[in-house]
Amino acid sequence: MGRRIVVIGGVACGPKAACRVKRIDPSVDVLLVEKGEEISYGACGLPFYLEGQVSDVKELTTTPVGVVRDVNFFKAVKGVDVLLNTEAVSIDRKKKEVKVRNVKDGSEDSLSYDNLVIATGSSPVRPPIPGIELAGIYCLKTLNDGVKLKKAMENAPGKNAVVVGAGLIGMECLEPLLKAGFKVHVVEKLPFVLPALLDEEMAVPLMKHIESKGVALHCGDGVSSFAGDDHVQKVVTEKTEIPADLVLLAIGFRPNTKLAEDAGLDTGPMGIKVDAHMRTSDPDIYAGGDCVESYNIVTGKPIYAPMGSTANKHGRIIGNNLAGWNSTFVGVCGTGVCNILGFNVARTGLTERDAKNEGMAVLTALCPGPDKPHYMEGAKLIHLKMVADRHTGRVLGVQILGPGEVLSRVDTAAAIIKARGSVDDCFETDMAYAPPFSPAMDNLIVAANVIQNKRDGLIRSFSPAQVKEKLERGDDFIFLDVRTPKELEQMKLPYDNVVHIPLGMVRKKASELPRDKDIVCLCKISLRGYEAARILEAEGFDRERIWLLDGGIVAWPYEKIVNM
């Protein structure tokens, strides 16, 4: 028998580590221990199983050619032994043994190891809210969770569903619930949806889209209790009461660190502490996946990043190092993407809020626009926000959302952020161009150019939130809307301080504008607004009073009159 490696956890990181080390070094003896009945499954596909895009939950356990990744598959193809329904109870680091218990019959055994991998994953957060143990309240983490929830959706006593938490899982489950005929309410403690991914000004267009699909959002509200006899009947929040026949708890996950803590390994609130090689404080024990603390590439600080993609990378690196290689994990940008009721949403790096909380001085660009040239059939709008360091121009984060294409852009941004690239590097990136796919100047490059113009002093801008604050304070300023009369018929701002002058007439009519007030220039996406601002400066207006509305009327998430 060769060197023995025991792997605890059989979903993503664990199987990847087990198979990788066995592939590189066939002489090792690898044993995979899993508490549940399934291994190596795609939990991220569960919302699509609920919706019906995945017809059988077992499809989430198969290879691309339909072979089920079960115990026999791992033994015959991967050379890895698997113990299912087996819980790791404790680790004796001196004896190098893992005590395990069969969850069905309670029998116990000890497994010796030369190296150990901890991939115990995470668990859904279930806070001690009164009534949380009532029937009809579900989480979504495992295949069994998915099967139970789908059955509950089919057999619920009524058609009122409440999603608690507006993070990724909660938002991805809106579509299956709506398609199943439920009236859906979302309760989110923070003021807007996807609060870990987006800034508020980016979340507002998404929220309006979600509400247009019939979902009731209760943001800035928290759950006080769940009420009912044996089965949940209503959700009592801090502000209201919502009828509920089914509740999905989707308020996040916590790393499963107890096994590591009890063994005396270094842990923290964001998981088991590991070095760049994914080694724990014990050099013979590695850890990866949702149970470990990751490293934020932008801030250089610990971060909790429970993503299937990250877990698989951890597993590969662990497998490499167990085989004697020297592989390291550099960290994450916090990249994520999802589709919410036809709206694509993507983010990488820091939000503006994150960056400011880190004490960074930032510049931002709001750049709505079509995802391909306007003359191409199928061109769709996307909102893009870029955050960059004011002093160096380093790209810190990008958020993109809308019905248009977002994936390639967020992936490009993630690569630039990982390389510590600047807005100049973004501009110089040789992105592919053809009209069926993108504009000649990709949306990402446009945002980088806007920030560079701000750094060069060519643009002074207000975000929509800043302008809204000016309105609420009663500041004396004017909006200069330079769109065409036809555009005004379609959409306009409902304020008395709006002046309409088409861009081609701005030079001629500049004398009609006040020179003792702030002038906030705008158009549809503020490209012409920028031109108007430059014209006014050339006409001798005080540049300290000339501003651009970032993103124009399209990015204005507040009151506007629409006659489309």
18 near 77, Cβ under 8 Å? Answer: no
What proportion of the chain, given as a percentage, has pLDDT over 70? 100
The position carrying tokens 């993070």 is: 167
CA distance 456 to 446: 15
Pairing relationship of beta strands 81-83 and 29-33 according to DSSP bridges:
parallel
382 near 369, Cβ under 8 Å? Answer: yes
Q: Which domains does the chain have, with CATH numbers?
A: 4-44+57-122+254-322 (3.50.50.60), 137-251 (3.50.50.60), 336-455 (3.50.50.60), 461-562 (3.40.250.10)
User: What is the pLDDT, as a whole number, of residue 557?
Assistant: 87
Measured in degrees and rounded to the nearest 5, phi and psi for residue 545 equal -110, 0
pLDDT tens for each residue of 390-411? 999 999 999 999 999 999 999 9
Say if pTM beats, i.e. exceeds, 0.85.
yes
Query: Residue 252: which of 234, 270, 226 has the closest Cα?
Result: 270
Query: Catalytic: which of 13, 19, 44, 426?
Result: 44
The position carrying tokens 């490209």 is: 527
CA distance 160 to 363: 43
6 near 113, Cβ under 8 Å? Answer: yes
The position carrying tokens 């070094």 is: 25
DSSP 177-240: HHHTT-EEEEEESSSSSSTTT--HHHHHHHHHHHHHTTPEEEET--EEEEEESSBEEEEEESS-
Please give the mean pLDDT across all residues of the chain.
Answer: 95
Residue 12: both structure tokens together: 């993503």
Strand partners, 160: 183
pLDDT tens for each residue of 518-555? 999 999 998 999 999 999 999 999 999 999 999 999 99
Q: Coil, helix or strand for 528?
A: helix
Query: Residue 246: which of 171, 176, 175, 155 has the closest Cα?
Result: 155
pLDDT tens for each residue of 275-298? 999 999 999 999 999 999 999 999
User: What is the pLDDT, as a whole number, of residue 67?
Assistant: 87
Q: Residue 505 has what DSSP assignment?
A: G
Q: Which residue has the higher pLDDT, 245 or 64?
A: 245
Binned at pLDDT 50, 70 and 90, residue 336 comes out as very high
Binned at pLDDT 50, 70 and 90, residue 165 comes out as very high
288 near 311, Cβ under 8 Å? Answer: yes
CA distance 156 to 188: 23
What is the average per-residue pLDDT within 192-197? Answer: 96
Measured in degrees and rounded to the nearest 5, phi and psi for residue 201 equal -65, -20
CA distance 175 to 338: 12
User: What is the pLDDT, as a whole number, of residue 564?
Assistant: 58
What is the average per-residue pLDDT within 495-499? Answer: 95
Residue 385 above 80 pLDDT? Answer: yes
Tell me the CA distances in angstroms from 388 to 270, 362, 421, 466, one per residue in order.
26, 5, 10, 18
Q: How many CB atoms lie within 10 A of CB 42?
A: 17
Q: Which residue has the higher pLDDT, 43 or 423?
A: 423
User: What is the pLDDT, as a whole number, of residue 377?
Assistant: 93
Query: HSE-up of 60 (CA within 13 Å, CB side)?
Result: 26
Residue 337 above 90 pLDDT? Answer: yes
Long-range contacts (CB closer than 8 Å, 24 or more residues apart) made by 376-381: 376/435, 376/436, 379/404, 380/404, 380/405, 381/554
Q: Coil, helix or strand for 69?
A: coil
**CA 393 centroid distance within chain:** 24
Binned at pLDDT 50, 70 and 90, residue 1 comes out as low
Residue 179 above 80 pLDDT? Answer: yes
Active site residue 523: no
**CA 514 centroid distance within chain:** 45
Long-range contacts (CB closer than 8 Å, 24 or more residues apart) made by 68-71: 69/15, 69/39, 69/40, 69/41, 70/39, 71/39
